[in-house]
Amino acid sequence: MSTSPRDVDAALFGNRFAIEEVPTREFPAEGMSAVDAMRLLGEDLALEGDPARNLATFVTTWMEPEAQRVIAQNLHRNFIDHAEYPRTAEIEQRCIRMLADLFHAPGETTGARTQGSSEAIMLGALSLKWNWRKRREAEGASTSSPNLVFGGDVHVVWEKFCRYFDVEPRIVPLTPGKYTIGPEDVAPHVDENTIGVAAVLGTTFTGHKDDIVGINDLLVRLKRERGLDVPLHVDGASGGFVWPFLYPDSPWDFRLEQVRSINVSGHKFGLVYPGIGWLIFRERADLAPDLVFTENYLGKTDATFTLNFSTGSAMVLAQYYNLVRYGRAGYTYIMRNMQLNAQVLAEKLQAMGRFELIGAGEEQLPLVAFRLAEQQPYDEFDIAWQLSAERGWMVPAYTLPPDAQDVTIMRALVKQTLSREHVDTLARDIEEACATLDKKGGVHETERRRIVTGSGH
Ligand SMILES: *Cc1c(COP(=O)(O)O)cnc(C)c1O
């Protein structure tokens, strides 16, 4: 690397990227010093949103320093090298057993660590498909047109599964005012080609749960009366770490007979940084054996059930850290704090007289879903934009899935780091953003569409 006088200046006084463009297209011919590379990244990332004001994401934005140390000290460990790192593999199994216990599995079970709920859902739904095919083959029946039943309130990953793995999606549309599904919605779609029904515990859109008890009862009845054994998978990406602590007496898990598998994101209310998710089966038999591969690359035979192969160990260890660090008591304490602050925010929003809350009296994730109570010269997208421009808060506005697409709502996640003081400030800032919009009005319709902050994560 040639050393120009400028490089010497930069080395002495700090920063070559004060006046130089950063590499963005061509594979760099020369390298740079470690300090320069670090500064380059630091300056880029300084322009990101502030995670503490990101009320859009469900994903963990804070872990305590001791957990961060565990993560930092284990970044070099490939999770899949079970032969070399048997303790890490054992810690994964402990997490699976503890989650199965939390979800009331009746006996010995199995499961998998995944990259997040998306991989867990792909694997869980593949197992549904394989088990359905085996049942059909045993009956000598056709296996050419599998279908999967779920509501319009699911995460996009369910439609993705259907497209990637050639399954007909039978999607129950929502309606304005009804943002979850129940047995009456599911019943008309279930037949002998249904590989399973997916129900959501804590939807991405409003934080509520499908009527899982009702859907389970329907499927039990179908089994008794028509001999159709249709498994129920619960997508507990968010809710799987919330309901056991906030609503322990509300059954949604393996306490219900037809619930055969559950996914949960460790990196959402499991309070671990991304990416970590879990798939838990009710019984060993619910995992289709053909999906488990045995290999002996690394000197020892090993069974794997994953879409990915190599991946980090750090988040598995961090998940175990949280499970033992917090226990039921700790998770309950944290979830209740979030719920209390969400209630305070909800009350403040209601007191403003501008907003209506969505399903605030029902079991819900610790968040506030709200919308303008009346027509205004501005809409929810304008409020999201104004709030972000004035105060840097990221509170998304979005339209609901079909057939409730004319309903726009806003949603504020109330997480562990959002203190009571933050809640009070946020409420004042929302009031002020509305006061600004009262004076200046909203922006043009086409402008509006560009500032949708998104909702899918
Ligand atoms: C977040 C979410 C997903 C996807 O989970 P990842 O962990 O981000 O892959 C699936 N379903 C629901 C209900 C979610 O909230």
Sign of CA dihedral 415, 249, 229, 292: positive
Q: What is the CATH number of domain 335-448?
A: 3.90.1150.160
For residue 9, the model assigns a pLDDT of: 80
CB within 6 Å of ligand 1 — which residues?
58, 116-118, 155, 157, 200, 204, 235, 237-238, 265, 277, 457
Read off the tokens for 80: 């899949």
Ligand 1 centroid to 12 CA: how many Å?
Answer: 47
Read off the tokens for 237: 């990406």
- CB burial of residue 3 (10 Å; 0-12, 13-18, 19+): exposed
Segment 99-126, tens digit of pLDDT: 999 999 999 999 999 999 999 999 999 9
Q: How far apart are the first and last CA of the chain?
A: 43
Give the length of the chain. 457
Give the closest residue (by CA) to ligand 1 atom 5.
117
Best residue among 57, 265, 272, 308 to mutate for probing ligand 1's pocket (most ligand atoms within 8 Å of CB) is: 265
Ligand 1 centroid to 136 CA: how many Å?
Answer: 30
β-bridge partners, 111: 280
DSSP string, 89-156: HHHHHHHHHHHHHHTT--S---EEEESSHHHHHHHHHHHHHHHHHHHHHHTT---S--EEEEETTS-T
Question: Nearest Cα to 53, choosing from 368, 336, 412?
Answer: 412
Low-confidence ranges of the chain (pLDDT < 70): 1-3, 297-299, 444-457
Best residue among 117, 252, 307 to mutate for probing ligand 1's pocket (most ligand atoms within 8 Å of CB) is: 117
The ranges of the chain annotated as CATH 3.90.1150.160 are: 335-448
For residue 6, the model assigns a pLDDT of: 75
- Is the pTM of the predicted complex or chain greater than 0.75? yes
Best residue among 58, 114, 118, 411 to mutate for probing ligand 1's pocket (most ligand atoms within 8 Å of CB) is: 118
State the fold for domain 68-322: Aspartate Aminotransferase; domain 2 (3.40.640)
For residue 178, the model assigns a pLDDT of: 95
Question: Nearest Cα to 132, choosing from 204, 221, 228, 18?
Answer: 228
Closest atom, ligand 1, to C-alpha of 154: 13
The contacts found for 339-342 with CB under 8 angstroms, 24 or more apart, are 339/246, 339/366, 339/414, 341/366, 341/414, 341/418, 341/419, 341/420, 341/423, 342/366, 342/367, 342/368, 342/414
The ranges of the chain annotated as CATH 3.40.640.10 are: 68-322
Best residue among 57, 58, 155 to mutate for probing ligand 1's pocket (most ligand atoms within 8 Å of CB) is: 155
Ligand 1 centroid to 46 CA: how many Å?
Answer: 27
Closest atom, ligand 1, to C-alpha of 238: 15
For residue 302, the model assigns a pLDDT of: 77
For residue 258, the model assigns a pLDDT of: 98
Distance CA 99, CA 112 (A): 11
For residue 450, the model assigns a pLDDT of: 37
Ligand 1 centroid to 456 CA: how many Å?
Answer: 8
